[in-house]
Amino acid sequence: MALDGIDDERLRREVNARDDDPLLDECVSVTRHLLLELVAGVAEDVPDEIFYAAHLAAAVDMFNRRKAPNGVLMQQFGAGDAAPLRLSNDPLRGARALLEPWVLPGFA
């Protein structure tokens, strides 16, 4: 498993961030570190595409937490429509679901 990082440009599009947003780089770095700890010992078994998707999901969640007072993010939909979206307290929640077959013993 290569454990390659996520594409910065794709992440910027996902979260609608500016090119010079230092928080984005921090989210990528922190989530990569957390995910490497999560898959320690089984990293070579996790497909690159799964690790990439987990890394992207975790980085997006962590970045969006900054815009979510009390864990609620107002998600914009087109022409002025918005809906509240509750964020998990665990920024790795989405990543854990993707990595579950490799991380949990006896799963699958």
- Both tokens of 34, joined, read 């957390």
pLDDT in tens, 39-79: 988 888 889 899 989 998 998 888 878 777 677 776 766 67
- The mean pLDDT of the chain is 80
Residue 81 pLDDT exceeds 60: yes
> What are the sequence ranges of the domains in the chain?
8-103
Task: For residue 108, name the pLDDT band (cuts at 50, 70, 90).
Answer: very low
Which pTM does this prediction carry?
0.75
Give the ranges where the chain is alpha helix by DSSP (H). Answer: 8-15, 22-38, 48-65, 93-103
- Both tokens of 46, joined, read 């996790």
